[in-house]
Amino acid sequence: MSFKDHILSSFIALENEVETNNYVHKLRGEALKDFENLGIPQRKEEAYKYTSLKSLFNKDYSLFPKKETSIDYGDIKKYLIHQIDAYRIIFIDGIYSSHLSQTTHDKFDVCLMSSALNNPKYASVIENYYNKLATKDGLTSLNAAFAKEGAYIHIGKNIAVEKPIEIVYFSTGNEAEMMTQPRNLVVVGENSQVQVIERHQSLSDNAVLTNCVTEIYAAKRALVDWYKIQNDKLSASLIDHTFAEQKDNSEVRIHTFSFGGKITRNNLSFYQRGEHCNSVLNGVTIIEGKQHVDHSTLVHHTAPNCESFQEYKQIFDERAVGVFNGKVLVDKIAQKINAYQQNNNILVSDTSTINAKPQLEIFADDVRCSHGCTIGQLDDEALFYMQARGIPKKEARALLMFAFANSVLETVKIPEIKSRITKLIATKLGVEIGFDL
C-alpha cells in the first residue's frame, strides 16, 4: 500500500472520534483532501530541490500508538533542562503524559491541545487562530488532518511568564515505524513575554518521523523567545513547520540547534504584520555521518519600520549535507525596514556538502537588506598556532568550531540552555574542554 493510501484508510478511524470543536472537525476533512491533491513534496519542487523525503515515506508508519507507554522520569531527565523550574508539556508517542508534565490554567493556559480542542471554553481561540497562519502544502495539510495533540499556550495581556515552558515529544520505539503529527498553538497577548524550549527525542533505534506544525502569534509588544534543540537519533527524522505572526513592536526570536537526526527539515516562516517588529532567526548546525539538515526560512516584511535578523552558523563533517534556503520578502509598503541575513559554513571534510541559497525579493525602494554567505574550512594556520601553544589538535579544532558558532550561542538568554548546548557541542566534538569563551 502506498503511503497515500495508508493515510487515507487511517483517516477513517480518526473521523469516527467525536470532537467538540466543529471547526477543527471540518478542517480535518478539508486538509485530508488537500493532502490528497498536494501529496508529499518532491525534489522537482523548488522548495525541496536539495532535500529528498523519499527515504522517509517508503515506510509503513503506524499513525496512532496501539497502547500508552509510560516512561520513568529518570530515563528522560537528561533530555530536559532539569536544572531549572519550568512548565512542562510532555508527550510519549504522541500521547500526553500527565505524570511527567506540569501545566497550568491559573493566570494563563499552558496545557495540551486535545483539551483545548475538546473544551468549548477554548473554542473562540481555536477558531480565531488554529490553522490560520500555517501555509498549505502536502505536509502541513497532513498534519492538519491528523493532529490530535500538542502544546496549547495562551497568554493574555501584560503577563511575563515567570519560567520557561518546555515542550518535549518522546518516541519510545514500541512501534517499529512510527509517524507523529504534533501540533502546537501559541498565542501571546499584548505586552506579554514567554520563553519556550522545544525538543523531539527518540528513545530507541526504530524509525520515527515527526511532522510538526507550530503556529505562534505575538500581539503588540509581545516577546517570544524560542529554543529548538535537535539532537536526535540517526533513525529519527523531523519535518518542522513553524509559523510566527507579529504585530506592532513585537519581537519573536527562534533559535535552532541542529546536532543530529537522519533528516531534519526546518521550515521557519515569519510574517510581520505591524510596524517596529523585530524577528530573529538564529541557528547552529553541527552534523556528520550522513546526516542532513535543511533550514528553509522565510521572513515576510509586510509593514514598514521593522527589522529581521538571521544568522546561521553551520559545520559539516564526513558526508553530511546541509541546506540553507533563506528568503526575505519585502512588500512595497514595507519601507524603512532593515533585513539582515548571514549564513556561514565550514566544510570539515571534502565529502560534506552545503547548498546555500539566499533569496531576496524586494519591492520597496527605501530599505536596508544585506546578506552574506561564506563556505570555508578550518584554518590550518590557526590549528598549528594553537597546537604550538600546547592545545592538542582535537581540542584546537573543537575550540575553533566553537568560536565560529559562538556569536549565535551568545544570543541564548537562558543560561542553563546555553550551558546545555555548550556541553552538547563538546560531547559531539569528543572533547572535555570548557568553552567559556
Partner 1 sequence: MLKIKDLKATIEGKEILNGINLEVNPGEVHAIMGPNGAGKSTLANIIAGREEYEVIGGEISLEGEDIADLDPEERAHRGVFLSFQYPVEIPGVSVTNFMKTAINETRKAQGKDDMTAKDMLKMIREKSELLEIDRKFLSRSLNEGFSGGEKKRNEIFQMAMLEPKLAILDETDSGLDIDALRIVANGVNKLKNKDNATIVITHYQRLLDYIVPDFVHVLYNGRIVKSGGKELALELEKRGYDWIKEEVEA
CB 8 within 8 A of CB 2: no
- Residue choice 118, 406, 411, 419 for contact with partner 1 (CB under 8 A): 406
| CA–CA separation, 274 and 269 (whole Å) | 16
Q: DSSP class of residue 428?
A: H
In the list 355, 407, 411, 419, the residue contacting partner 1 (rule: CB under 8 A) is 407
**CB nearer partner 1, residue 369 or residue 383:** 383
CA dist 124 and 145 (Å) reads 20
Site string for partner 1, 362-401 (x = CB under 8 A): -----------------x-xx-xxxxxxxxxx-xx--xx-
C-beta closer to partner 1: residue 251 or 395: 395
Task: Work out whether 411 is an interface residue with partner 1 (CB under 8 A).
Answer: no
CA distance 209 to 176: 11
Of 145, 232, 402, 428, the one binding partner 1 (CB under 8 A) is 402
Residue 147 contacts residue 213 (beta carbons within 8 Å): yes
Could you give phi then psi for residue 380, rounded to 5 degrees?
A: -60, -40
- Take residue 107 and report the three cell numbers written for it: 493566570
Q: According to the binding rule CB under 8 A, does residue 176 interact with partner 1?
A: no
* The three cell numbers locating residue 231: 539532537
Question: Shortest gap between Cβ of 372 and partner 1 (angstroms)?
Answer: 15
Angle between helices 3-15 and 138-146 (to 10 degrees): 30
Which CB sits closer to partner 1, 17 or 380?
380
Enter the C-alpha cell of residue 391: 592545545
- Nearest distance from residue 293's CB to partner 1, in Å? 22
Check binding of 73 to partner 1 (CB under 8 A): no
Residue 348 is a binding residue for partner 1 (CB under 8 A): no
Residue among 404, 417, 425, 428 that touches partner 1 (CB under 8 A): 404
| 305 touching partner 1, by CB under 8 A | no
| Exposed e or buried b per residue across 242-264, where buried means at least 16 C-beta atoms within 10 angstroms of its C-beta | bbbbbbbbbbbbbbbbbbbbbbb
Task: Please name the helix (run of DSSP H) or strand (run of DSSP E) that holds residue 382, with its range, or none.
Answer: helix 380-388
Q: Which is nearer to partner 1, 377 or 387 (CB)?
A: 387
Interface with partner 1, residue 424, by CB under 8 A? no
Looking at the Cβ atoms of 91 and 402, the one nearer to partner 1 is 402
H runs (alpha helix) in 156-208: none
Instruction: Give least dist CB 286 to partner 1, A.
Output: 15
- Under the criterion CB under 8 A, does residue 311 sit at the interface with partner 1? no
Would you tell me which residues interact with partner 1 (CB under 8 A)?
379, 381-382, 384-393, 395-396, 399-400, 402-404, 406-407, 433, 436-437
